[in-house]
Structure formats: structure tokens, C-alpha cells
Structure 1
């Protein structure tokens, strides 16, 4: 078990207004990273770039994408783009908490994919995903503090 001194640490907390800035910033990050996945035309341009980056990092070229693979990329890109725009337009604490939960799931599946493929590009996406999730799960001060 942990020593009582570790458990009694008072962790710093976000001020609510700073937390909302964080929610908005995570929305902008997601928008910039995922809008390229949202349409067939942008995905057709983006995949060779990502494959080349994976190769430059020591990984292998991506396998050929079939229309069904592309569909799932576009669904993810479309949903995350809309989710990003919502957080940019109207950031709220509960949206940040939901985003933290989604990032935990995304991180888990990215880590599993990395474990299965060892694709170095996944680590480029995984680390920020985990940091955004952790920061949005961080405690927030109550309004009277």
C-alpha cells in the first residue's frame, strides 16, 4: 500500500476558466489532427503522408486501403471533427470529462495496435492522446476556491 504521506498530498487543481481553455485547446488539436480523415479526398492525400512518416520513423509502409477501411477512417474523422467543433464553439466542463474518457479508450486501442504492429507512428499519436486525456481528467477547483 502507499504511505499515508503519498495519499494525503493535495494535488493542484485547475481553475474552472483555465479548464475551459484546456477543453477548447484539445478541440483545436483534434480538429487539426483529424479533419484530414473526414473526406475521401483528404484521406487519399493524408494516408501516403502518414505511411511515409511511419517509414521515416523506422516502420513499414501502410498496407493498401480498401473502401471499407477508408469508410471507417472517414467515420472517425467526421465524428471527431464535429466533436472538436462543439468543444471549440461551446467548451464546458462535462465535455472535457467526456473527452478524457474518449481519450482513455482511444489510447487503449492505440496501445493495443502498437503492441500488435510496433508501428512507430502510433507512438507519435499515443503520447499526446494520453496527455490530453490525463489533463482533462485532472481535478478542478470548486467555484468558491
Structure 2
């Protein structure tokens, strides 16, 4: 169970993770570099699954994803509200579902690393948050 302050740190931490991981998806130029690096890594490790060449529509989808996730991350960094953490957890469970679907249909097994992080951030953001006590202590000297 998290305290409210701890939970805000979790929300902010997940947002920083998102910003760092998805910033390269936000533009065609940065994504081309990232795609090349991931392709090279996948080949060097001889991983199963495919990391296909991206056509313009694929690139558009990657850039839209990167752009909106970066905006969502900055919002949570600036204002890590509990409700944002709960919505983020739902989004991450959805992302994890589609990542698993892609893996089962031949996507590069590099995706497993991202799937693990999505599930981990999902779980920590659905854990309960302890509400602060509304009872105020009695002033000293009163019985």
C-alpha cells in the first residue's frame, strides 16, 4: 500500500520512463535512428521475430504514438495526480495486451523487454493508496 506521496512519485517515475523510452518515436528522423539500432540489436542477438522495415503509414503510427505518449508523460511529470496514475495503469494494461498479441503473431522478441516494463508499471499503479487520516490530534494539554 502506497502513501499519497509515494504514489505521486510512482506516477512521476512511470512518466519519466515513458518520456525516455518514447521520445525517439515522436519524429520520423529519431524513429529511423531508433529502428536501425533496434534492428541491429535484434540481429546481433539473433532474436526470433521480425522487426520490419517501416513504410510511411507505419512511421506515421509510430510518430503519433510517440507524440501523444510524450505529451501524456509531461502532464504526469508536472502534475502526478493519483487519478492520472490509475488511467495510466489501464493504458499500460492495454499496451501490454497488444504487445503480447504482436509477440504471438511474430513480432520481434525485443518487445518482451517493453512488455515486462508495461506490466510492472501497471501493477504498481493499481496498488492501493492509503488515505491520510482526517482526525486531527488533540492540542497539547487537553484531555
TM-score of the superposed pair, with normalisation by structure 1: 0.87
**Which of 79, 82, 95 pairs up with 2:84?**
95
Distance across 2 between alignment mates of 1:30 and 1:46: 15
Distance across 2 between alignment mates of 1:61 and 1:107: 18
Distance across 2 between alignment mates of 1:60 and 1:48: 16
Q: Deviations over 1:7-41 (max 9, x none)?
A: xxxxxx10010000000000000000000000011
Equivalent residue number for residue 18 of structure 1: 6
User: Over alpha carbons, which structure has the higher Rg?
Assistant: 2
1:112 counterpart = 2:91:
no
Q: CA RMSD in A?
A: 1.4
Structure 1 or 2: larger helix share?
A: 1
- Cα 1:75–1:15 change in 2 (3 A) is same
Q: Alpha-carbon deviation of 1:54?
A: 2.3
Is the 1:36–1:46 contact (alpha carbons within 8 Å) kept by the matching residues of 2? Answer: yes
Moved over 6 A (4+): none
- Cα 1:109–1:60 change in 2 (3 A) is closer
Equivalent residue number for residue 135 of structure 1: 124
More off after superposition, 128-137 vs 117-126: 117-126
Number of aligned residues: 133
**Structure 2 segments unaligned to the other structure (5+ residues):** 135-143
Q: Alpha-carbon deviation of 1:58?
A: 1.6
Q: Alpha-carbon deviation of 1:57?
A: 5.2
TM-score of the superposed pair, with normalisation by structure 2: 0.88
**Structure 1 segments unaligned to the other structure (5+ residues):** 1-12
